[in-house]
Chains A and B, each alone.
Chain A
């Protein structure tokens, strides 16, 4: 979006053609419109509008695509009364606990491992086969084995989410560490930096932005396996709620659950970006 101001031809900006009304707008809003900052809202409005139209005109079977109003009603009902013993907040909290625990573990393991693999060729050779092997395995196939080993409780769910998040972080970290300009390392070494100094002063600051991108992508992978992880023997969680509601053909709750899941995912991504801006002010992150 940053390039828009220069790249947009004059003819397309808003103060051509319909001048009077646009001129009265506060300058900040006008500037934002010219920059295309409100385009995202337009997208959301268009999707919502199409949804209202399709369901309102009766073009879709309400079993598969319920109206936005009935989805909203199911939201209110699950938020206040609950779904099968837990309220929406409890379902969200259960899932977020699983996601964040597994994601934190993936970061705690993945980033040091990635730094090691990026800086030492032998470490890379030791760990790479394992990661490259399990990375493309479908989560459900992996899950069957995890359930056999770890049981139907919380640990198999966390393990699946952890394994989903791990490779992205490791690969991004390896890439980030190997991309560091070797001159920086030589310069630091010539100034007497130890190996630990190098990691702390050169590798981590230099690779931070790419690692952060890897973390964001990883979080997405963790989200993609959430429903799979909560299919087996869960009694709460957004993923379980979606799965269970689908069994009873409650399309409104399925869609509501997906929207809630999506919003929490966006919120977590935003938090990651903000944290990145605060601890790595030198990076050029585009927010929103």
Chain B
């Protein structure tokens, strides 16, 4: 009898232990990735996340822009996502349950304003009376408003419309718009025609308005499966390393993923700056667990601007953004 009870207790203990071990691994992981040229495409194409998480079903969801990603996060449809600094500022101010865990990319001329060559636009002022498109709520919409603001041009003097990158290309070829600030790969298709590059996001970086995309994780997922957040970061870091060390193979992957010609893919790659994971922990980027980096300043100035534009109800404290950035996962991956 005693043995029976003992074995019953042991069996119970074992089964509880098994259940706990099971709970520590998610059944599936959903990654929302932006329709953009960065190392996430490499990670996805090489199946690096899957290699880190054997037995877990990995779902990739392509999301059109920052506004849509915010909705996907608010609707709890993704575990991991990517957000530019304006949507990040919006999400954090609105109290979305997310934390920033790594730098996905710094934006240079992968995002740019194209103008119709025949429309003869030489200065920002020439945009008056024209129709300009940008995906609202995204990095480029933010930079467009910033650029106009800096030169004291009233945005109401032109027609600024909200279109997604693919719709911009469509509207461009129909001749409905004269200028658009958006990103590759749709940007490349537009630039093949009657268009030239007027201003790039990299130029705005040198004016003091850097834009970037940060990888985010839902708080609930991070609390439940901290190991898997680390695995995710490790996989993305491997993707970034691959990008930095194998440009030729990376271009092939990008070309395949986005159905582009190889030279286009290679050109677009140069417009995005990838930051190696140990560098991400420096003051220029996320910073470390002792002291957060310049991303906090960018988020603060972005939300201040959005507040002035009546897109946000208030500007959160510096501390809110410092808490949003969680470098600990990166730190243990880099170590």
Question: Using Cβ atoms and an 8 Å threshold, which residues of chain B touch A248?
Answer: 67, 90, 137, 311-312
- Please state if B171 and A247 are interface contacts (CB–CB under 8 Å): no
**Beyond A63-B74, A247-B137, A248-B312, 11 additional pairs, beta carbon < 8 A:** A148-B174, A152-B161, A152-B163, A152-B176, A232-B167, A233-B163, A247-B67, A247-B68, A247-B70, A249-B91, A249-B94
A side interface size, CB within 8 A:
19
B74–A247 contact, CB under 8 A?
no
- In the bound assembly, the distance between CA atoms of A79 and B165 in angstroms comes to 32
Residues of A208-242 at the interface with B, using a CB-CB cut-off of 8 Å, are 232-235, 240
Contact A63 to B94, CB < 8 A, known contacts A233-B161, A235-B161, A244-B162: yes
Task: Give Cα A234 to B171, complex, Å.
Answer: 13
- A151 contact set on B, CB distance < 8 A: 171, 174, 176
Supposing A151-B174, A248-B311, A249-B74 touch, asked if A235 and B159 sit within 8 A by C-beta, the answer is: yes
A84: B residues at CB distance < 8 A: 310
Tell me, yes or no, whether B95 is within 8 Å of chain A by CB.
Answer: yes
In the bound complex, CA of A63 to CA of B90 (Å): 12
In chain A, residues 46-68, which have Cβ atoms closer than 8 Å to a Cβ of chain B?
A: 63-64
Main secondary structure of the interface of A (DSSP, over half): loop
CA distance A85 to B311 in the complex (A): 12
On chain B, the residues within 8 Å of A64 by CB distance are 74
Q: Which residues of A contact B (CB under 8 A)?
A: 63-64, 84-85, 147-148, 151-153, 232-235, 240, 244, 246-249
* CB of A255, distance to nearest CB on chain B (Å): 14
A233 touches B171 (CB 8 A): yes
A63 in contact with B96 given A152-B161, A248-B311 (CB within 8 Å): yes
The interface size bin for chain B is 20 to 34
Q: Is B209 an interface residue (CB 8 A)?
A: no
**Smallest CB–CB gap between B128 and chain A, Å?**
16
Instruction: Provide the bound-state CA to CA distance between A86 and B68, in Å.
Output: 23
Which B residues are in CB contact (< 8 Å) with A85?
156
Contact mask for chain B residues 152-190; partner A; CB cutoff 8 A; 1 contact, 0 none: 000010011111000100110010110000000000000
Task: Say whether A232 contacts B163, CB under 8 Å.
Answer: yes
With both chains docked as a complex, state the minimum distance between the C-beta of A155 and any C-beta of chain B, in angstroms. 11
CB distance from B287 to the nearest CB of A (A): 26
User: Is A233 a contact partner of B133 (Cβ separation < 8 A)?
Assistant: yes
Kindly list the 10 A-B residue pairs having the minimum CB-CB distance in the complex, ordered from nearest.
A247-B67, A247-B137, A249-B94, A233-B161, A152-B171, A151-B176, A152-B176, A248-B311, A151-B174, A233-B163
A247 cross-chain contacts in B, Cβ below 8 A: 67-68, 70-71, 136-137
Contact with A147, one of B133, B136, B159, B170 (Cβ below 8 angstroms): B170
CA A234 to CA B174, docked complex, whole Å: 17
Within 8 A of A (CB), among B104-146: 133, 136-137
C-alpha gap A64/B95 in the complex (Å): 11
Contact with A along B68-95 (1 / 0, CB 8 A): 1011001000000000000000110011
For B68, what are the chain A residues with a Cβ–Cβ distance below 8 Å? 247
B-chain residues with CB within 8 Å of residue A233 when the two chains form the complex: 133, 161-163, 167, 171, 176
Given known pairs A84-B310, A249-B70, the reply for A63 and B171 (CB within 8 Å) is no
Q: Whole-angstrom distance from the CB of A227 to the nearest CB of chain B? A: 13
The residue in chain A whose Cβ has the minimal distance to the Cβ of B66 is A247
Q: What residues of B have a CB within 8 angstroms of the CB of A232 in the complex?
A: 163, 167
- Contact B167 A249, beta carbon cutoff 8 Å: no
Bound Cα distance A151, B68 (Å) = 23
Most chain A beta carbons < 10 A, residue from B71, B91, B310: B310
Nearest CB to that of A233 among chain B residues?
Answer: B161
Q: In this complex, what residue of B is CB-closest to A231?
A: B162
From residue A232, how far is it (CB to closest CB) to chain B in Å?
A: 6
A240 to B163, CA, bound (A): 12
Among A85, A148, A233, A244, residue most surrounded by chain B Cβ atoms (within 10 Å):
A233
For A235, the closest partner residue in chain B by CB is B161
Nearest-Cβ distance from residue A151 to partner chain B, whole angstroms:
5
Contact residues of B between 220 and 268, Cβ < 8 Å to A? none
Whole-angstrom distance between the Cβ of B94 and the nearest chain A Cβ = 4
A246-B71, A247-B70, A248-B90 known; A63 vs B95 contact (CB < 8 Å): yes
**In the complex, which of the residues B96, B160, B161, B312 has the most CB atoms of chain A within 10 Å of its own CB atom?**
B161
Residues of chain A within 8 A (CB-CB) of B136 are 244, 247
